[in-house]
Structure formats: C-alpha cells, structure tokens
Structure 1
Amino acid sequence: MHITLINLTPKIFSKRSLGGIFICLSLLNTSCKEEVQEEPFSLNEKYYSEDTQLYLPDDLEASLWAESPLFFNPTNMDVDAKGRIWVTEALNYRLFRNDPNKFKHQEEGDRVMILEDKDGDGKAESSKVFVQDKDLTAPLGISVIGNKVIVSSGPSVIIYTDEDGDDKPDNKEIFLTGFGGYDHDHGLHAMMAGPDGKYYFNAGNAGPHIVTDKSGWTLRSGSLYNGGSPHMIDNEPGMVSDDGKVWVGGIAMSINPDGTGLKVLGHNFRNSYELALDSYGNMWQNDNDDDGNKGVRVSWLMEGGNMGYFNTDGSRKWQADRRPGQSIPMAHWHQDDPGVIPFGDNTGSGSPTGITFYESDLMGEKYRGTLLASEAGRNVILAYKPEAKGAGFELNRHNLITSLPEEEVEDAKSRATDEDKTKWFRPSDVVVGTDGAIYVADWYDGMVGGHRMIDSTGYGRIYRITPKGKKLSRPEIDLSTTQGQIAALKNPAVNIRNAGFGLLAAQGAQAVPAVKEVLKDKNPYHQARAIWLLSKMGEEGVQIVEEQLEASNPNIRLTAFRALRQVNSDILPFANKLSKDPSAAVRREVAVAMRDMPLNQVQDILIELASRHDGDDRFYVEALGLAMDSKEEEIYPTLQEEIGAEALDWNPGFEDLTWRLHPRQAVNGLKERAISEQLTEAQRKKAVTALGFINDQSAVNAMQEIAASDIADVKDQALWWLRYRRNNEWNGFEMEIPELKANLSPEIQKEMLANKSILTKNNSSESDKIKAAQAMAKDRTGGMMLIGLAEKEALSEELKTEISKVIFQNPEQAIRVLAGDYFSKPSTSKAITLEDIRAIEGDVTKGKQVFLGKCATCHQVGEEGRNIGPNLSMIGAKLDQNGLFDAISNPSAGVAFGYEMWLISLKDGTVAYGFLQADGPIVVLEGLQNEVYNIPAEDIAARKRFATSIMPKPTDLALNETDISNLTAYLQGLK
C-alpha cells in the first residue's frame, strides 16, 4: 500500500520549532479487508523534517485547516449548519498547578470560538468569540444543536441560546449541575444529539456526581476516587440513585432536550472522554487506565453495562481485587468477574480523548462505518471497522492518523527531542464536517493530562482530511423545505441531523412519505435514521417501523426494536417474537429491554433467550444477567428445570449462566462441581469463582469445604477467596482460616507509642520531648507519627525545629518527602533546569544505571524494579524529553490516581501508611514494602490523604544534570 507524504508548513506561529507530524489513514472497509491483511502499509521511519508532515494512504490528502492564534488549546469541536467549526478552549487549564504567570490564560474565563472557511479554499481564515465566561474553566465538550450551544464545563452543562443568529448568546441556562470534577480531566464531557432526538453524554470518575434533572429525578454516582483537584470533595461509594441502582465512577447518560428523563446507560468507567453513537443506536467510547498499566481501551457499551473499573459499589480499586495469576489489563477492568462487560480493544498505554463514528459515503464507501478514536497520549487517531461477533463486536485496530511511524506508535524507541517535536501532536478531538471531511483538533504540547502542560503559548491546530483529487464542499442546508430537512437528516455531521429530525417529526404524518423513501437509501445508516424518525411521526410511522422488524439486515431489526421501546409501552409482543431471532445481537437487545420488567411478565421470554446461550459469548451472557437483574433467585429454579441438569451434567450455556447469576440456590451444585475430578480444571475453577460472588453463609461454608479438599488446583483457589472475601463482602460471616492481617498491635509499635506519649504529655520536660522526638524522627513508624502530629498542629515550633534536624535522614523515602510539608528542610543546591540538561547528550546505558540505582526502589521497567509507584515500562510512548523532565522535577504537579499517600491513625495510637486500595468495613492499605494492612473501620481514629507526591525531587536523590539527561534518554526509549 502506497503512502503519500503531505507537507503542511504553518504560516502562523512559524517561529516555533515544529516537529514532524504524520497522519496515517488506513483503508478500512469490508471490500478491501483482504488487501489490507495481505499488504499492510508501512511508514518511512527514516524521514525527518522540521516542517509539519502528514502521512496518508494514496487516496487521501490533508491540509492544515486552522491554527493559533485563531484559537488556543482546543479540547473539543462541533460543526454547525453553515459548516463552521466551533471550538472550546482550555487556556485556564489547572491554574492551581500551572503558574498563570507562565502560561497564557484568560482572566475573564475560557472561550468558545467559531472558525470559518469563508472562501471555500480549505483553510479557515476567520475566527470569532461566541462567548467568554468565568463559568467556563477548561470546558471539555461542545455541541451546536440548532440555535443552542451546549457546553460541558464541570460542574455544569450550560446551554447558550442565540435567538437572533448574530453569533452571540442571548440566553444562558444551567441545564444540569452537580457533576464532580471541576477543572479536571475526569469530569464532565461533551453532549451530543442521538439518532432518537435525545441528548447523550458522559462524565469521568472525578465525582461524586449528584445531579437532579428538571423532573426532580436524582442521580447519585460515587466511588473511591479522591484525587486530582483541590475543588473535589470526597466520594462516597455505594450511593443509590432514584432508580434504586448503584452507579459507580464514570457514567454514560441520556436526557430529553427539555431536561427531563435523565437516564444512566452505563457506568464504572475510569474516564471515557467522549461518547459516540452510530445511527443504529450503538454506543462507543474509549477509556484510560491507571497510567502505565497498559490497559487503555476502546469499547462498545451495552446499555446498562458495568465496565469494571472499580468493584460493584466503587469501594475497591482493581489492585485490591486482583487474583493470583491475573494479567494487569484483565484485573484492571475486572474482566473475570461476572457482571462486567468485555472491555473491547486493549490499546496499551495512553490518554484517549475525542471519538466519533463516520457514516458518510463522501470519503469513499470503504470509509463508511469507521469508528475514529483520538489517542493524545500516543499521538494517534485510531480507526476500527466494528464487526458483529455474537452479541457484541470485534474491534480490529488500525493507526489512522499519527505523528509517528507505525512501528514507533506500537513498539519502537521514541526519537522525540526538543528540536524534533513529533510527540507534540496531541489529538484532542475528531469530528466529521457537513462536507464529509474529517477534522482533527491538535492540542500541541509535550505533556498530556495529569493536570500538567508544557506549552505556555496555548498553541493548537486543526487538520482537514479529504479524498485525494476530490473537492468536498460544505452544502447549503435549507431547512425550510421537506427535502432540505431530509438532506439535513442524511448529513455526515452528527448534530446537523438533529435539525432535520426535529422539523420532520413536527410535520408528523404529512412528512411520512418523504421519510419512508429514505428506507430505500443504499446507506444503511440513513435507513436507521429514518426508522428512529418514523417512530416519532404518529401511528402510520410506528406501523412502518414495526414492519422493519422483518428486515433482512439484523442492524435494521434491532434499530426498529430500540425505536419501538421508546414509543410503545407494550413491547412484549415484539420481544417475544425477537427472542427467537437468529441474530444474537437482536436477542441481546431484547434481553436488556427486560431488565426492569416484572418476572411474571417476562419469564417465558427470558427462558427462551437463555436457552439459546451456548456458553461461548460473554456479551450475550452479560445481557442475560442484566435481563435477570434482581430476579436471579426467583428465576433460577425455573432455569434449572427448563434448561439445566444434574450438577455434573450442566451444558456450557447453563454453566456460564449460573456463573453469571450466582444465586444462593446454586451453592450445592457449584460445590459439587468444584470438587469433582470428573470435570476439567477450568470447570472446577469456574465453579469456585461463582461461589466467591455469592454473599451468603452457605457459600462461605461451601468454600471452606473446598479449601479442605485434596484437589490442589481448587484448594488453593478456595483459600485465596476466603482470605480475600473476609476483608470485604464476607466480613460479617463466620469462617475459620489462618490469619493474614498485618499486625498493627501496640506491641509492634510499643517504643514509638511511648515516645509519642512523652510528646503529648504536658508534664514532660523539654529535653525529654526533644529526645523522644528525635528518636521518632529516625524511625519509619515514628516519623509518620510525627507527621500526623504536625498535621494536627500538636507540635511546638521548638520541637519542629529539633525534628527538622533529624527527620530528613529517616530511612523511609516517603517520610523524607512528606516531612517537607511540615518541617524546615535543609537548603539544597541550585535547582536544575531544562536548559541545563538540554546541553548534555544523554547516554541510554548510563541512564539505565541511574534508573536502577535511584528509581527502581519504587518503579518497574519490565521485570526490573519494584511495583510501588507507577509502572514506567511504556513511559516513552507518552512523554518526550520536556515531559519527562517536568515529571521528574515536579513530581507533585500531577500525582497519579492510586498513588496518593494515606496516613491512618488507629484508636490504640498505632499508625499505618500507604496507598488506599479499598474502603468499607475493612480498610485496605498497601504499604511501601508491598505489605497489606487490613484495618477494621471501627478501629480508625483519623485519616489523612496527602497531596504531595512521595517521589523525591532530583536534588533530594543527589542527581545532577548529567544524571537527569542520561535518565531521560533511557526513559524516552521505553515504549
């Protein structure tokens, strides 16, 4: 496959040293699938240029459509009916961490900009401010729907209405508010119009999200997440929303345009940056992992699905639930737990951003049906042609647009330097224009996420991708006629379709014939849009939609069923019919529609759906689990009678369904299977796992019997489950197993408790207090006790002075670092600057020795080092030299989630410190030697979470300029 290289030299800000930028667009369509497999394109790794460069396949071309100063720091884009691009800016990004005296910012708040190519030459020459508002602080989402401009800027979704069309807001409405994550990457994201006329959007896990819609319905979503912004408040796991459900972490939602009908569509993400819907109603998203854990994902979201970041109520991190032998990605997203949707494509490490679904034929029919996902951390736009597989999808990834040769995106060493800024391409969003072109926003920077940035000027760019030799022109959209409204409905731009949708729906029966004609369109996505619309156009339209339940295309059948669910309260006749559909995807839709319906109305449908499960479709069994949510105990006896058998004779489908439902009635059968040598090891272990999710004394008893058996493969597994569950869901049940609880008894900390008593007694002499304090300052436990006392302002200035002389020699690195927040640290040598290390050529071999000598005490690269801080095995895929130096020299500027240090003081005076892994009846801390502290909540007197990173600054590690230059050279090559 030939790759064409396009030269795109900026004319504005050209004084900047711009690195090579490449864009790779792979040929993604069913008809050329074999060609792609036989002749995958490769990039020219030897090509270097200081100009802006884009790699493209030979049927596409690219142009620099707009750049600063037309706008700055683009976070999100949308397109209006005139073909203009609207951009949200984030110049006021994390000014609580990023010095406003250094970084360009807006005193009057961030802005929404309108960019336009007035002369149609393929380059924007005009920009104007639509609104600048102090309520806009690093907004992460924008949608232009008619005369409404919907901006997502935590804690609120704000609607600005331009009544007179002068590109200035005449009205401002706080549409929804109460979302967590103010000025935070993991907060509120963009809202968009779905094919059904509702608005769809999502929010990351920086909650809690406590939001009431205009009908009075309240969402409450919380989790263990407590980091990242001084504006955050403590989350509370396990909150119940007005629908009676517990929604956890990041959430996807829909709402009616009038602000009523808020509904959760999926949950338990970390931070899905944006939600995309195709015209069938499928939801697509990406999500980032805990940095460095190679667990970033691009996913299809099943309605109501749990995507598995936390445990089911948000009280535990994945590390606390990781099972022996589990890979990090599988543990990270709880993929082996019943009740969790498959994560889709695991893309490795990164920082995913905007996402869209391309449905037009204007780029060529082969690009129709392509999911485009921005990946700012890896300098790439990823592309997928989702292929139906059972009740879910298979996602085969291609690098569509990237600033790096393909092998560097995937695995090779980074060559980014200050002069070569190929890694400064940070795609923050991708949208489709009214002309069918693809537009890519580039927040041009050497750092991405983590509350940090390097570029102080706010520079940004937008690229336009079009077919080679074919001019794509923005259409004139005439909404005054039915045909103009039909054209809008078929437009490539997502929110433009909504204008045609609304006006045609308002016409009712009068417009039905015109809309019905769209069902004959060769583009199936256009057909699907017509189905949604017809369902809103009265009795005649609904009748036509019902006829589509007989369509040959399963996507059309499931779209018709989805549409009928929204307008027809009696869907059971349709559900009964489609429960026998040959398509697993159609049957899946029937299953999720049954979730909140009474069992006496849907039991026959559920039995029919369950009977068609073959045990080899995780998406399907999860849909069945959602269908039977809160009905498990009631329906299981009937399932056993209709499709079950004796315990050792379960077929794969029933075995899988029992694992997913794990009702109490299955305990005896699961125990029998777990200890039967007639079954395979995998079957026995699956039975043990199912028992581990049954919260009942009978399951505990069965697990103890299995642990006492002679079958080695399940005996050890059962013992692990008992010890693990004792510290969470099974804490209140009776069990007898060997203790593993870390010993925090006063006996262990006896000497330090005695010294602490001297410090806190009024009758202790000053000399005795100084002696006790200095002894504590030299001890790991005593040092943390002193920090706790300083936090409570329980130490005199004289004592703090004496402690300062000793505590910075404490053997625990974390104590030496955290002590700097409370005690006077001895002066260090001159701070090292980026200019200092730029002048020195780094040596990779020597850099590895620096890592092993100074960093490996906390960080891992491959199998070397310790797993205390974030894994650095792929850090070079995310940061260039500037970003690495910033991370090394300013470690507290962006503490990774999960690596905030906690100090827990117990009522008996003892202390424990480490990383919080779980909160509940048993609080779980992971200590700095990888020891685990399981602490009963009732024993805790006080908690303290530190904002300071425990990673020392370079001067504290005695690193000089040469050491840091060598270290960054080594880290840059880790991909």
Structure 2
Amino acid sequence: MKQTKVLSLSHATGGSVPWLAGLATVLLLASSSPLSGPGSPDDLVLPKDLDASLWAESPMFYNPTCIDVDYKGRIWVAEAVNYRNFKNNSPGKLSHPEGDRVVILEDTNGDGKADKSTVFVQDKDLQSPVGIAVLGNKVVVSSAPSILVYTDEDGDDKADKKEVFLTGFGGYDHDHSLHSVVAGPDSRWYFNVGNAGPHMVTDKAGWALRSGSVYVGGTPYNKENKPAQVSDDGRIWTGGLALRVDPDGRGLKVLAHNFRNAYEFTVDSYGNIWQNDNDDEVASCRTTWLMETGNAGFFSKDGTRTWRADQRPDQNIVTAHWHQEDPGVIPSGHITGSGAPTGIAFYEDNLLGPGYRGMLLSADAGRNVIFGFKPSASGAGFDLSDRIDFVSSLGQSTENYRWDALDGDKRKWFRPSDVAVGTDGAVYVADWYDPIVGGHAMHDTTGYGRIYRVTPKGKSLPVPKLNFETTQGQLQALLSPAVNVRSIGFAKLAESGAKVLPDVIRAFEKSGNPYHKARIVWLLPHLGQPGKAKAEALLKNGDAQLRLVAFRALRSVTDDVVPLAKLMVNDKSPAVRREVALSLRDVPLEKSRDLLLTLADGYDGKDRWYLEALGSGMDRKEQAIYPLLVNRYGKDPLQWNNRMVNLAWRLHPEASIEAFTKRALHEKLTYEQQNQALTALAFVPEKTAAAAMQQIEKQADNKRIADKATWWLSFRSGNDWAGFYEVKKQAEELSEDVKKWRQKMSAADVPAAEQEAAVAALSRDPAGAKLLFPLAAGKRLSPRLMEVIAENIYANPDQSVRVLAGEYFPGNKSAGALSIPGILGLEGNIANGTRVFSASCGSCHKMGTVSSADIGPDLTSIKNKLDRRALLDAIVHPDADVMFGYEPIMFTMKDGSTVYGFLQSDADFVVVKDVTGKKVTLAAKDIVSREKTRTLMPDPATLGLKEQQLADLVAFLMK
C-alpha cells in the first residue's frame, strides 16, 4: 500500500513553545492543498487513498491521554494536565488545581471538525487518568487506584453520580497503571493494568486479586512494592494484567499476565485480545495477540526477578526481555523495536475501504506513528508481519533523514497517545504533542493537544443517528464501527430475548461482513433457547472462524464446558482446538484427561501457541498426565519425537528429571537438544533437579553443556534451588600493591600524608578505584579523602571508573554553566561525537557496533524517542528523567558493607547489578536498609565535556 504526504501543519511560534494559548488558532485542513503556518512544517504521511484533517485542538481540551466515541459520534477526551506534577512542575506550566477533566467534543454542523467543547466532569480523584469508556449514560474513567463510573442521569452532559467501581490498583499518577475499559463482544468489560503494582483489588462479589512484582514504580507514591501473592483463584499473577469483569462489578478474572505496560488493549468481534507492550531498553517494544491464560514473559514467573536478572549468557535482548526460551511463556508477537506504544484499536468495517477491514491500528508515541497491522491466522496463533505506517509525521523511510536537524522541526512532536474508530467509520487520532515521551517527563508546559480525523479520500462519512427504540436501531448499534457503542445494542437486543431472533438471523444471513456476523453469534445464546440452538448449530459450520466464535460464545454462558469441549476436540482447525485446551484449565483431570490426550495428538511438534495452550489446559495436572503422555508417545527419552520432547519440556514435572538428564548427557543429541533438556531441568523447583544438574556439570562430554550447567547452578542458587547446595564464590584477585594501599587507607595509625598517598594510588588503579565506590556510597570516607580521590580518579585508565566516578566524586564545574540553546546552535561533528561517546559513555551504554556495554540503557535507537533538544536535556540533567529499571539503590548490609546498583531480583535472595555491570546476590535477611539515590550517569561537566563536544555527541547519537 503506497503512501503519500497529504497534509502539512504547524503550530510552532518559535522557541520551544508549541503554541500560544492566547492565539488558539484553529487551522482548517484541506487534503487538496496542504496548509502551513508559522515556523517549521508538521507533516503527516498516510496511504494515498486516505485524507487527514485537524478535527480539534487546544484550547478545546488539553493533554489528551485517551479518547472514546459515544453513540452520537462525539469524542470524549480524558486529560492529564496534572501529569506527575511532583516532577513536571516547571514555571508557567498549565495546572488544574480542581483535578483533571473529561471533555466532550462535538461537530454540531457536520463540517468535519469539532466546534463545541463541554466539560463533563472535573474531579480531584482524576489524577492523570489514562483510560475512558463511554457506555451509554455511564462514563468509565480509569484513574489509579480506582475505576470510576460517572453517570449522566438527566442527559445534560454533566456527571450527576459518581461510583468507585473497583479500587486497589497500584500506579497512582503513573501510566503503568489502569487503562481504558472496553466492552467486549460478550458485553463484559475488559481492561488492563500495567506493572506498577501492587494491585490488591476485591470485586463486588468478594473475589480478591493480589498481584505484585519486583518493580517499584518509579514514583514517590509507591515506596516499596509487594511481591505477588496467591489470588482467590489459587494462582500467582504478576506484572501487567489483562482483566475482565461483569458490568455489575462481579466476576473479576485475570485473562493473562506478566506483560510490562500495555497502554491499553482492544478486543475484536471474535473475542481476540490485541495489545501493545513497552520494553525498558528502548529496543524491544511489541504488538501481539494476547492468548487467554498466557504468561507474556516480562518478569520471572513469580514476578521476583527482572528479565535482566534472568538473561542467559547466549541470549539477545529480545529473547531475554520476553523470556522466549522459558517454558510457560507465550510467543512475543511482532517486535516493533524502539518506541513508546500507546493506544490501540481494531478496524472492522469497509467505510475506509475494503483494504482496511481487519486492520489493527497501533499508536506508538515514541515512533511518531500509527502502525497498521493485518493479522493473519498462523496455526494456533497469528502472524503480524504485514505492517504499514497508517499515519506518520516522518514517513516510512527515514534511513537518510538528518535526525540532528530535527531541532526546530516539530514533526517529531507528533505523539499519538490514542486511536479510536468513530460511529462514522473515520479513525480519530489523539496527539499528546511534546518533544519527549517516556520516563514520565513532559516538556510542553501549555498542555497543547490535537485530534486528527482520517477518512477516505473524497468521502465525507456522515455520523449516523441511532434509534434505540427499534430493533433495527439496536442492530445498527450492535454493528457500529465504534466498539463501545456496540454494547448498547447488545444489551437492548438481549433484553428482548427470543422475540428479536428472526430479525437477528436475517441480519446475520444478509451481512457480508464477517465481523458483523461474529457479533451476532455472541448475541445468540442470550436470545433464549432458540438463539442458543442457533449458536450450537454453528459449531458445525464450514467456516473455522464462525466455529471458534460460536464455541467462545457458548462457553461464556455455561458453567460446564466439558460437553462443549467434547463436540470440538477433534476440530480440524488448530485455533478451535486451542480454545478447547484453554477451556479445560480449571477442569479436574478425571473429567479432562481423554480430551487433553486427544488434543495432544493434534499437536504438530512445532506450533508454540498450540503448545502453550496445551500447557495451560494441563496446568496443575502435569505430574499426573506426564506418565500418560510417556505411555502414549514413547518411554525411551532418547527416541522422543518433537511432540513428546516439547510437551515434556513445557510441563517439566519432577517425574521428567531422569529423562531430561539422559537427554542432556547423550552425546549423539545436538547441542540444541541437550540444552533444551537443561532448560527443562532448570525449571523444576526440586532438589532432585538440582542434583541432576550437578551430575550433568560433572559428567557432560560437551563442554558447552557442562558450562551451561555450571551457569544454571550458580543462577538457581539465588532463587528456585536456594539452600540445596553451596556455590563457591570466586574472590576478586587484587594485586599486592592494591592490598597494601587498602591496608594503609583503613589503618588508624597511618600518618595522614601516607594515607592520602595510598588513596591517591588506589584512585589511579583500575581495581583499586572500584574499592572506593561502596565506601563513598556508605559515606565512610572523610571530606579530605574525597577531595584526594576527586583529584586523581579521572586519570584512571579504566573508562568505566572515570564515568562512574561522577556519581561519587564530582568535579568542580556546575552543569548549569552549559547552555542548551547555545549547544543547539552549534553544528555537530559525527566523527568527533563517536570519539566522545567511546571515551565518556561507551563503558555503560550500548550504541550500535560502537559499544556493547550493558550497565545503562541501550542508546542505539534513542533518536526514535527524543528530538535533539530533549536528548541534550537528558544528557545535561541526567537526574531529571531516569529510565525504568535504572533507578540505583544503595543496600546496606548487617556487616556494614554496601552494594550499589540496579535491582534485578527481589525475594529471599536479592540480585543487584553493580556499577561495574557484575550481578551480586545478597541474602534478603542480611540487608539492613535500601536507599534510592541519584542516577549513576554523571553530568557532562563532571566529565569535563565542553559544549562543542556535546553537540558532537548528540550528532552521533542522532545519526
């Protein structure tokens, strides 16, 4: 699908201010003649058959985080003007002391742009809400710790009633928290929460969710997270959660877990859940289909360890980040790379053109784009490789773009925070509009925002009028392009029961849209016994997708899924059989055994989605079903085919230890096969598995396998196998000179001059200098010795020492002397910038092929998130915005020693990546205190960098 630039916008008035509130100029956009305003152009690029127009902008609303569409076609905006005021409190910043707001925008004359703005509610309980759903006269706003429901009882577009629907979610004033509710095709409410827990929530029937993780949230409101506890379903849920609840607040259920921060998700008419997910390395964001019951793989299974703590020596970032080689984790989906994914929507109509039906629209504020995916079924899962730039401010090809020229070019300020489909079939895009995204930062002090409207070229797309008093009007609502409008039609039709069945069936037979048909199938079981019978008949339909949605719809209204599963267990579609497997998760083995074995017969030995669905169906039945599988597929583990090997790997019960030990030691198997056996053993949390790993370490002929066994034994000694054996710690070898200097530094009877000379010598020695960091962090050095160190340590030959010294022994020059506007006026030299990076940054940060360090965040794609000014600001003021996962903590131990670094794991054993990049394991019982400190990144003045060098550095990072 070719693309073309269709409009050009600008609101820049010079400097760093995006617009002047006093002017509030409204630009009328026409696709035939791009408009330009004062300052640099702000381009949007779309497919050639689409147009875009500016539908609304500030001051009609401010800082839009999310939007929804009501049955009148109006756009509702949740604002975050007060977004993290504790840090985004620059002078002159727009503020709403009475709380954040929900605003209704309306095009009253049908000319294609909003002309009316109404404040529906302003409430101090709305602190940077990042979720909104309009469901009839109920407006559901997600603002941690609560989902709030506001009701307009008299139709005057003002909130008359307020209800705390559910509460106890973590992440107050944090966008890793509650996100938008969406009405599913079954009319239940679906929503998600990010990983800024803990989430301790009780629904209105008394069912309790108790979720947490190692992540502490990066917020002053959440001092310390709680580990995940067992919820009332007997399971441990961690990280970000996908949830469903009945509209009356009962029936809260976790659908999937352990993602990082899916800003929101959407549910298509088949009942598929689609979501984006952030990473924490600016390298591995993703868009994925989220399988029910799935573990999305961000943290360890129990949430106590980050992916960095679990990363194996031979794993790349993507594999490690999403735990892709761990049993029990679903595939990562489509990796979009660096960015900051936000809102998402699924387009199901022909109104934009038939090529857009079935398109997943995924906003990425970091990449200045709305991606368009066309998912296609692939085995038991989906393939998302078919992707275009649906809307972008930079265009699809940016390989030769001068990123360092973006200062003053506001195209990089296009930050799509949400995307929604209107009742007219147009696509609406909310633009947060800021030079920076991520890290809870904000540089736009005026709260400016925009909403664009995307339509087919040459078509107007009128907003339909819906009459809910007639069956046809209710059907029209059910078949609306706007996802939350459909629930109104569903509810009205369900209330009428079997008497509307003839009209519903006629609509089903008449429709040529498969998504419309799917919505009607969900409705059928709610239209009395005749409707249910019609749904049951569809289980035999020739269309696999209709069979699948019929199964889901019937399952949603029954407490006993076994009879339904028996009908579909031999279905020829792997996707349908996947649904059967998922439905059996909570069915006891005595009722599900034969069904599960039949489903296992249908596994091709390759489809990871199908394997994970089988694993889910066999959850808590592993030990009992494993011998049945062995009897079915072969007792000799050396003769197992891929089906049996993968099933045993996925289930890894204690009974499989002997078989996997044989496979790991068998020299005729490939390294990959032996390594898979090691991984299976490593996920058995039993002493017998640890003993088997020790046996392999000693007996393996393949040195790679022996070394990997050694790594697993070291790694597991701090978590699942703690206390089963002792791991010998290798003490760091120090030279005799370093030992002598250390002794003189600490001895009480050494003259001051000799002590200072010893400290100076330690400062200049690579190994000796590293002994000084924990002493400085623990404030156990006198002011005079601190001065001596500062005078000498920047001559140390070890680059990592020089860089990290800025945290403990800063130089005299203040960063305030550096002028960001002055630096922006300088032309950068990329070659010189490469040298500056290597000398001052490369010991901590990865950057393409220039450096492979992994102490700090990977900067390879930082240009996709920040413009030149924002990047400079981050370098000159490193404490202002610290990337998630890189908040340094100082641990003080019972023996008085200190360890300083990034938290990787937090349970009975705590893993810290220290300032040299080494992972240190601490017994939690020996930790006296933890204290968050400033970033490890020194300011440029401490490193002695001049303004021209910074201009060169930024040119290199932006290349």
TM-score normalized by structure 1? 0.90
Q: Structure 1 residues 452, 676: CA separation in 2 closer, same or farther (over 3 Å shift)?
A: same
Instruction: Find the counterpart in structure 2 of residue 861 from structure 1.
Output: 847
1:485 corresponds to 2:474: yes
Counterpart amino acid of 1:970? F
Distance 1:801 1:686, change over 3 A: closer
Taking the aligned partners of 1:364 and 1:749, their CA distance within structure 2 comes to 75
Q: Distance in 2 between matches of 1:896 and 1:570?
A: 47
Match status 1:382 vs 2:371:
yes
**1:715 equivalent in alignment to 2:706:** yes
Counterpart CA distance in 1 for 2:271 and 2:352 is: 22
Indicate if the aligned counterparts of 1:18 and 1:420 stay in contact, CA closer than 8 A.
no
Residue 190 of structure 2 corresponds to 200
**Contact 1:184/1:229, CA 8 A, preserved across alignment:** yes
Cα 1:451/1:15, change in 2 over 3 Å: closer
Residue of 280, 286, 302 corresponding to 1:297: 286
Q: 1:10 to 1:447 in 2, by over 3 A?
A: closer
Query: Is the alpha carbon distance of 1:686 and 1:827 closer, same or farther for their aligned partners in structure 2, counting shifts above 3 Å?
Result: closer
CA contact (8 A) 2:404 2:954 kept: no
Cα separation, 1, equivalents of 2:354 and 2:773? 67
Q: 1:459, 1:773 → 2: CA distance?
A: 58
| Of 581, 599, 610, the match for 1:609 | 599
Indicate the SS of the match to 2:451.
strand
Query: Partners of 1:180 and 1:476 in 2: how far apart?
Result: 40
Give the Cα–Cα distance (whole angstroms) in 1 for the partners of residues 908 and 286 of structure 2.
32
- Contact kept? 1:742, 1:934, Cα under 8 Å: no
| Matching of residues 698-847 of structure 1 within 5 Å | 698-707=688-697, 708-734=699-725, 739-740=729-730, 780-789=770-779, 805=787, 808-809=790-791, 811=793, 817-819=806-808, 828=814, 830-847=816-833
State the match for 1:475 in structure 2: 464
Given candidates 849, 861, 866, the residue that maps to 2:835 is: 849
Instruction: Look up the equivalent residue of 2:265 and give its one-letter code.
Output: L
CA distance 1:309–1:740, change in 2 (3 Å): farther
Deviation at 1:114, TM superposition (A): 0.9
Q: Do structure 1's residue 905 and structure 2's residue 892 form an aligned pair?
A: yes
Aligned to 1:365: 354
Contact 1:773 1:803 in 2 (8 A): no
| 2:613 counterpart SS class | helix
Instruction: Tell me which residue corresponds to 1:920.
Output: 907
1:638 paired residue number: 628
Match of 2:325 in 1: 336
- The separation in 2 between residues aligned to 1:869 and 1:464, in whole angstroms, is 40
Q: Tell me the residue number matched to 2:955.
A: 969
Partner of 1:6: 6
Contact 1:381 1:400 in 2 (8 A): yes
Q: Does structure 1 conserve the Cα–Cα contact (< 8 Å) formed by 2:777 and 2:890?
A: no
3-state secondary structure, aligned to 1:567:
coil
Change in Cα spacing, 1:175 to 1:753, as seen in structure 2 (3 Å) is farther
Q: Determine the C-alpha separation between the residues in 2 that align with 1:636 and 1:350.
A: 42
> Against the structure 1 CA distance between its residues 651 and 787, is the aligned structure 2 distance closer, same or farther, given a 3 Å change threshold?
closer
TM-superposed CA distance for 1:205, in Å, is: 0.7
Q: Which amino acid aligns with 1:882?
A: R
**Contact in 2 for aligned 1:387/1:393 (Cα 8 Å):** yes
SS at 1:546's partner residue?
A: helix
Aligned match for 2:81, one of 65, 80, 91: 91
Contact kept in structure 2, 1:416 and 1:422, CA below 8 Å: no
- Residues 1:592 and 1:830: Cα distance change in structure 2 (over 3 Å): closer
Alignment-derived partner of residue 133 in structure 1 = 123
Q: Distance in 2 between matches of 1:829 and 1:425?
A: 30
Paired AA for residue 58 in structure 1: K
**Deviation string, structure 1 residues 900-923 (Cα, Å, up to 9, x no partner):** 222222222222222222222322
Give the Cα–Cα distance (whole angstroms) in 1 for the partners of residues 112 and 791 of structure 2. Answer: 63
Q: Which TM-score applies when normalising by structure 2?
A: 0.91
Aligned residues of 1:291 and 1:350 also touching (Cα < 8 A): no
String of CA shifts for 1:441-494, please: whole Å, max 9, x gaps.
111111001011122221111111111112200000111111100000000000
Alignment of 1:208-227 (within 5 A): 208-227=198-217
Cα distance in 2 between the residues matched to 1:251 and 1:157: 15
Structure 1 alignment gaps of length 5 or more: 20-47, 759-763, 791-798
Superposed CA offset, 1:850-884 (max 9, x none): 21222223212123333211111111121111110
Secondary structure at 2:590's aligned position in 1? Answer: helix
Distance 1:818 1:810, change over 3 A: farther
Q: In 2 relative to 1, CA 810–108 (structure 1 residues): closer, same or farther, beyond 3 Å?
A: farther
1:128-527 → structure 2 map (5 Å cutoff): 128-292=118-282, 294-396=283-385, 397-408=387-398, 414=403, 416-520=405-509, 521-527=511-517
CA distance in 2, matches of 1:731, 1:220: 25
What is the distance in 1 between the residues matched to 2:732 and 2:207? Answer: 44
- Return the offset for 1:269: 0.7
Q: Secondary structure at the match of 1:101?
A: coil
Provide the residue aligned with 1:930 in structure 2.
Answer: 917
Shift of the alpha carbon at 1:739? 3.9
CA distances 1:178-233 after superposition (whole Å, capped 9, x unpaired): 11111112111111111111111111111111111111111111111124211113
Per-residue displacement from partner, 1:102-125 (whole Å, max 9, x unpaired)? 422212211111111111111112
Could you say which residue in structure 2 is the equivalent of 1:32? Answer: none
How far is the alpha carbon of 1:895 from its aligned partner? 1.2
Deviates more, 1:378-387 or 1:397-406: 397-406
Aligned counterpart, 1:940: 927
What is the deviation of 1:101? 2.2
Which one-letter code corresponds to 2:6 in the other structure?
I
Q: Which residue of 2 aligns with 1:685?
A: 675
Q: Which residue of 1 aligns with 2:538?
A: 548
Which one is further off, 161-170 or 397-406?
397-406
The question of whether the paired residues in 2 share the 8 Å contact of 1:66 and 1:124 is answered with: yes
Q: Who is 1:761 aligned against?
A: none
8 Å contact kept, 1:749–1:910: no
For the 8 Å contact 1:416–1:423, the answer to whether it is kept is no
Provide, for residues 394-447 of structure 1, a one-character-per-residue CA deviation record: whole Å limited to 9, x for no partner: 102222111113121x78652542221221111111100000001111111110
Distance 1:96 1:17, change over 3 A: closer
Match of 1:882 in 2: 869
Please state whether the residue corresponding to 1:407 is helix, strand or coil.
Answer: coil
Percent pairwise identity: 50
Q: Tell me how far 1:566 sits from its aligned partner.
A: 1.7
State the alpha-carbon separation in 1 of the partners of residues 820 and 490 from structure 2.
54
Q: Check 1:518–1:415 CA distance in 2 against 1; reply closer, same or farther (3 A cut).
A: farther
Give the equivalent residue in structure 1 for 2:766: none
Task: For 1:749 and 1:505, locate their aligned partners in 2 and report how far apart those are by CA, in whole Å.
Answer: 81
Q: Is 2:12–2:410's contact at 8 Å kept on the other side of the alignment?
A: no
Separation in 2, partners of 1:511, 1:13: 58
Deviation at 1:806, TM superposition (A): 5.1
| 1:303, distance to aligned residue in structure 2 (A) | 0.6
Give unmatched runs, 5+ long, in structure 2: 20-37, 764-768, 794-800
1:787 positional shift: 3.7
TM superposition shift of 1:3: 3.8
**What is the one-letter code of the residue matched to 1:155?**
P
